[in-house]
Amino acid sequence: MTEPVYKRILLKLSGEALMGDQGAGIDADILKRLATEIDELCRAGVEVGLVIGGGNIVRGAEKASEGLDRVTGDHMGMLATVINALAMQDALENLGRPVRVMSALKINQVCEDYIRRRAVRHLEKGRVVVFAAGTGNPFFTTDSAASLRAIEIGADLLIKATKVDGVYSADPLKDPEAKFYSRLTYDEALDQRLHVMDTTALVLCRDYKMPLRVMNVFRPGAVMRLIRGEDIGSLLVT
Ligand code: UDP
């Protein structure tokens, strides 16, 4: 077997990735499948940090559009990410994989606080770290949290999971003419306003030279093949 080419990765899953074909919530089968793939990465010797969104439960901006205070909505969204993190913790532990959920908001009865040095220690010991509650601040997204945490923990690669195979010039599910980009710079993505991650997240990655792979994690074994050096999805670099 080829050795992994990455020692430490940060995988960003959207909340929607957990809900499958359901309209909301968490699909137990999908959760188990994703947990199994993450556990396999750990078995191969890769240190794995996870950021999971909360869009399957609450999005602050949507709540604000319904009349709720935006900051309150964002607090609800951040708590939604904690719910998803706990579900993933449970799924991984059922596979025998040690996990720590570390939250950017203090909820000590539920999980640990995010402390960078402690997070790195967990990773070194082979524990999956699920970074919950985003950045801990309203008006941010979990994409920005993923960029930030990837940089903070010194990840070799940030992986953003999507439903499609990578970055396209338009939504390939709607436009069959959409062009696929196998490699591009952050400035190209920003200039062309390509739908990759929000601007804050892209700028952070660009400025701190964090490489990003955008790929379909629903193709079984795809993340493992990437980790072993295959050119999968789209690569964004500074
Ligand atoms: N959120 C926030 N600050 C953060 C990260 C997330 O306020 O640093 C809130 C925000 O309301 C967001 C929600 O949490 O809509 C869920 O996160 P996100 O929309 O990024 O989840 P995803 O789309 O990845 O499922």
In 10 A of CB 177, how many CB atoms?
A: 8
Mean pLDDT value across the chain: 96
The answer to whether 36 is a known ligand-binding residue is no
Q: How confident is the model at residue 69 (pLDDT cuts 50, 70, 90)?
A: very high
Confidence (pLDDT) at 89: 98
Sign of CA dihedral 182, 183, 184, 185: positive
In a domain, 67, yes or no: yes
Question: How many domains is the chain partitioned into structurally?
Answer: 1
pLDDT digits (tens, 9 = 90+) for 117-165: 999 999 999 999 999 999 999 999 999 999 999 999 999 999 999 889 9
Query: What is the atom index within ligand 1 of the atom nearest the CA of 144?
Result: 8
Query: What is the rounded distance in angstroms from the CA atom of residue 51 to the CA atom of residue 49?
Result: 7
Confidence (pLDDT) at 71: 98
Contact 227, 174 (CB under 8 A): no
Distance 74 CA to ligand 1 centre (A): 7
Query: What is the atom index within ligand 1 of the atom nearest the CA of 136?
Result: 8
In a domain, 1, yes or no: no
The answer to whether 12 is a known ligand-binding residue is yes
In a domain, 133, yes or no: yes
Distance 55 CA to ligand 1 centre (A): 7
ipTM higher than threshold 0.90: yes
> Which mutation among 58, 74, 196 tests ligand 1's pocket best, with the greatest number of atoms within 8 A of CB?
74
Confidence (pLDDT) at 2: 83
pTM given for the model: 0.97
Confidence (pLDDT) at 221: 92
201: which 2 tokens? 């997240």
In a domain, 3, yes or no: no
The closest of 237, 150, 155 to 190, measured between CA atoms, is 237
Query: What is the rounded distance in angstroms from the CA atom of residue 55 to the CA atom of residue 22?
Result: 13
Query: What is the rounded distance in angstroms from the CA atom of residue 216 to the CA atom of residue 113?
Result: 30
In a domain, 48, yes or no: yes
Q: What domain range includes position 17?
A: 8-237
Eight-state DSSP code of residue 108: T
pLDDT digits (tens, 9 = 90+) for 123-134: 999 999 999 999
> Which mutation among 26, 59, 152 tests ligand 1's pocket best, with the greatest number of atoms within 8 A of CB?
59
124: which 2 tokens? 């070194």
Beta strands 112-113 and 128-132: pairing type?
unpaired
